[in-house]
Amino acid sequence: MAPIDWSPLWISLETSVTATLVTLVAGLAAAAWRERRTGPAAALVDGIFLLPLVLPPTVVGFLLLLLFGRHGPLGKLLLRLGATVVFSWPATVIAAAVVSFPLMYLTARAALEQVDSRFFEAARTLGASEWRVFSAIALPLAWPGVLAGTILSFARALGEFGATLMLAGNIPGKTATIPIAIYFAVEADDVQRAVAWCLIDVVISLALLAGLYYWTRTRWVRR
């Protein structure tokens, strides 16, 4: 077996970290917005937020391709600005962020819903702004759930394949992540390389899940 090109590992880690930061901000904002709203419109928005969780990744990737492609609304806008997203490293980030967003949104929303609303009402009565209520009360009390969602989102972004392949393609050293490297190693009948990448992916994922389990168990014991 030829020496392993380690670029898929670094691309995967860079993509997952960037996508997780995006989903952290977007998921928190969406959860905070949804927590204060009820009714059919809010339920519809809820369904849209959760679509990437239930749709096949290839379908998500195809929809993103329609959106960011040369003839898509965002693709045309980017072309006017002299930029493109499809088949580039930012495309890997977009695909990973979209498919991991529902996990961040769900866990952040659940964590915020567990905070006693009386704290929010008391702060608003004292004249605190919505941003102050969120940053000084809601977020500190909900941060364990937010942290768990962040770890799960990172793990999901690390394992993303279908949407990434559709939107970013397989460009060695640029968009070829670990899952894509595994797929094309199998296609080339390079089983040893595919096994090596699988083991690397499993080790990283197990380390993340073990860290989450240890942290939650330690926190529960301290209580």
Per-residue pLDDT tens over the stretch 123-163: 778 777 777 777 777 878 888 888 888 988 999 999 999 99
Q: Could you tell me which residue, 120 or 185, shows the higher pLDDT?
A: 185
Between the two ends of the chain, the Cα-to-Cα distance in Å is 51
Q: How confident is the model at residue 65 (pLDDT cuts 50, 70, 90)?
A: very high
**pTM, rounded to two decimals:** 0.87
Q: Which domains, ranges and CATH numbers included, belong to the chain?
A: 7-222 (1.10.3720.10)
The Cα–Cα gap between 111 and 103 comes to: 12
